[in-house]
């Protein structure tokens, strides 16, 4: 066999999202792009903010020595300082340059964190439903994913997480605002989680890291604020990205922020810097680091996504769909009418409306709609959603 068995297995079980992407491409070719309502991929369609475009133009035309050169593996000092100042405000804990490592997106950042903390056979607790790549990322570094159920409204179930923890647990990975549910965990939940992890770390004799994957932190609605992690647990690591809030996922920029009071802080950060290099990322993209150093806090207008959320939610509710409205992100995760998500998705495809079955996120019985598509596409899809619920509920 030419390729590794585990990769062959992974390819065979490859994510539903990829499969839907391929099916979408095929249907668009067959029926014309404008006739397919594709709600499968989280590829933001909004233009990056004007401030991003202006700053990028300025930097491109400026004369800077080694503008496109290598830099220290953790990133440019001025970028790390600028991110640290922003994180200090956001997390409610003074955070210095040393805590920040610039990465190739959140995906790169998570791989760096996991490579740094995992010994073979260690586990990471993940909450269901979860971002499909987590299992691959954890296995990349010899770890094992252990699942914890969430509550009916997709809030974390602290008891379920506690039950999933044992001596092998290196960390708990949370994602808020959540892909695929749009749930924003309330401050009380984060506080309770921090207290429980403190107690379990003492019990197991091992510091359990709380890793928070937060690429949607700025895409929230109705005045919601994503509560800080640092203010609630010292052994915490935030992984963030500019993919969604600046609408630049192809540019691959994110960062890791390590709590300044995390145990073994120097080794943890130095280990991550080494891993950023030896995973082959070497460093995060230079040009993008130069841009974000000057525009911390800038984001796309979440109001545009809010309008789409409301359009979708009001119409799906009218048609009889059952869901918890998302507090953030551009995802909606309703129950599949009839209960079988894979069958529901196939029925919807008959009307050229594409969504991803919840099974792909570890949650059969649900399906995910991505609303980074135009309001016209959303409006065109309602006839298909009406057809599918009528067919499966009759």
Q: Footprint of ligand PLP on this chain (CB under 6 A)?
A: 42, 105-107, 131, 175, 179, 213, 215, 241, 243, 249, 254
Q: Which is nearer to ligand PLP, 107 or 357 (CB)?
A: 107
Q: Write down the least CB distance from residue 52 to ligand PLP, Å.
A: 15
Least separation in angstroms between residue 181's CB and ligand PLP is: 11
* 148/234 with CB nearer ligand PLP: 148
Are 329 and 302 in contact by the 8 Å Cβ rule? The answer is: no
For the bound state, the minimum distance from the C-beta of residue 281 to ligand PLP, rounded and expressed in Å, comes to 11
By beta-carbon proximity to ligand PLP, the closer residue of 90 and 213 is 213
Nearer to ligand PLP, 189 or 241 (CB): 241
Give φ, ψ of 376 to 5 degrees: -65, -45
Among residues 220 and 234, whose Cβ is nearest to ligand PLP? Answer: 220
Long-range contacts of 130-137 (CB under 8 A, 24+ apart): 130/175, 130/361, 130/362, 131/175, 131/179, 131/180, 131/213, 131/361, 132/15, 132/16, 132/17, 132/360, 132/361, 133/15, 133/107, 134/110, 134/173, 136/10, 137/107, 137/110, 137/111
- Distance of closest approach, residue 386 Cβ to ligand PLP, in angstroms: 29
In angstroms, give the least distance from the CB of 320 to ligand PLP. 28
Nearer to ligand PLP, 115 or 351 (CB): 115
Bridge partners, 254 (sequence order)? 103, 241
Please check whether residue 344 is in contact with residue 388, taking contact to mean a CB–CB distance below 8 angstroms. yes
* Sign, CA torsion 241/244/250/251: negative
Through-space distance between the first and last CA atoms of the chain, rounded to whole angstroms: 49
Minimum CB–partner distance for residue 136 and ligand PLP (Å)? 12
261 is written with which tokens?
């009071």
d(Cα 172, Cα 122) in Å, to the nearest integer? 12
**Minimum distance, C-beta of residue 111 to ligand PLP, in the bound complex (Å):** 9
Residue closer to ligand PLP by CB (options 217, 290) is: 217
Nearer to ligand PLP by Cβ, of 16 and 385: the residue is: 16
Tell me the sheet residues that pair with 236: 210
Q: At what angle do helices 133-140 and 105-117 cross, to 10 degrees?
A: 40
* Cα–Cα–Cα angle for 347, 352, 355, rounded to 5 degrees: 70
Phi-psi region of 75 (alpha: psi -120 to 50; beta: other; left: phi over 0): left
Backbone φ, ψ for residue 351 (5° rounding): -100, 20
* φ/ψ (deg, to 5) at 282: 65, -65
Q: Which residue, judged by CB position, is nearest to ligand PLP in the bound state?
A: 105
Taking the complex as a whole, the smallest distance from the CB of residue 244 to ligand PLP amounts, in Å, to: 7
Cβ closest to ligand PLP, residue 328 vs residue 334: 328
* Shortest Å distance, C-beta 241 to ligand PLP: 3
Tell me how far apart the alpha carbons of residues 141 and 119 are, in angstroms, rounded to a whole number. Answer: 8
Min separation Cβ 316 and ligand PLP, Å: 21
Residue 109 vs 260, nearer CB to ligand PLP: 109
Would you call 318 helix, strand, or coil by DSSP? helix
Residue 94: count of CB within 10 angstroms of its CB: 13
């Amino acid at each position: 066999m030419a390729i590794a068995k585990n990769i062959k297995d992974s390819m065979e079980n490859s994510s539903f999202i990829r499969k839907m992407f391929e099916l979408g491409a095929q249907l668009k070719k067959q029926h014309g792009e404008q006739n397919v309502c594709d709600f499968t991929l989280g590829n933001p369609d909004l233009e990056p903010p004007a401030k991003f475009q202006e700053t990028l133009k300025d930097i491109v035309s400026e004369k800077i020595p080694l503008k496109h050169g290598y830099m220290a593996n953790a990133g440019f000092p001025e970028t790390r300082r600028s991110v640290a100042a922003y994180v200090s405000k956001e997390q409610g804990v003074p955070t210095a340059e040393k805590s920040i490592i610039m990465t190739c997106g959140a995906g790169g950042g998570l791989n760096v964190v996991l490579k740094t903390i995992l010994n073979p056979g260690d586990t990471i607790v993940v909450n269901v439903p979860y971002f499909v790549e987590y299992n691959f990322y954890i296995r990349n570094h010899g770890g094992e994913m252990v699942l914890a159920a969430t509550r009916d409204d997709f809030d974390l179930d602290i008891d379920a997480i506690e039950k999933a923890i044992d001596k092998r647990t290196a960390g708990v990975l949370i994602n808020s605002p959540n892909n695929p549910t749009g749930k924003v965990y309330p401050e009380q939940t984060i506080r309770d989680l921090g207290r429980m992890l403190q107690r379990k770390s003492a019990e197991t004799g091992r510091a359990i890291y709380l890793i928070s994957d937060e690429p949607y932190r700025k895409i929230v609605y109705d005045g919601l604020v994503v509560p800080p992690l640092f203010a609630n647990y010292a052994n915490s690591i935030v992984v963030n990205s500019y993919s969604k809030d600046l609408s630049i996922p192809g540019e691959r920029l994110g960062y890791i922020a390590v709590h300044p009071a995390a145990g073994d802080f120097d080794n943890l950060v130095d280990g991550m810097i080494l891993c950023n290099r030896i995973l082959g990322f070497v460093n995060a993209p230079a040009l993008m680091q130069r841009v974000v150093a000057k525009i911390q806090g800038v984001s796309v207008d979440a109001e545009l996504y809010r309008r789409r959320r409301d359009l979708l939610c009001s119409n799906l509710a009218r048609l009889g769909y059952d869901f918890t409205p998302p507090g953030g992100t551009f995802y909606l995760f309703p129950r599949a009418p009839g209960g079988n998500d894979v069958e529901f998705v196939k029925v919807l495809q008959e009307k050229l409306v594409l969504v991803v079955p919840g099974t792909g996120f570890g949650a059969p019985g649900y399906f995910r709609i991505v609303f980074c598509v135009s309001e016209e596409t959303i409006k065109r899809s309602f006839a298909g959603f009406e057809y599918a619920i009528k067919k499966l509920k009759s």
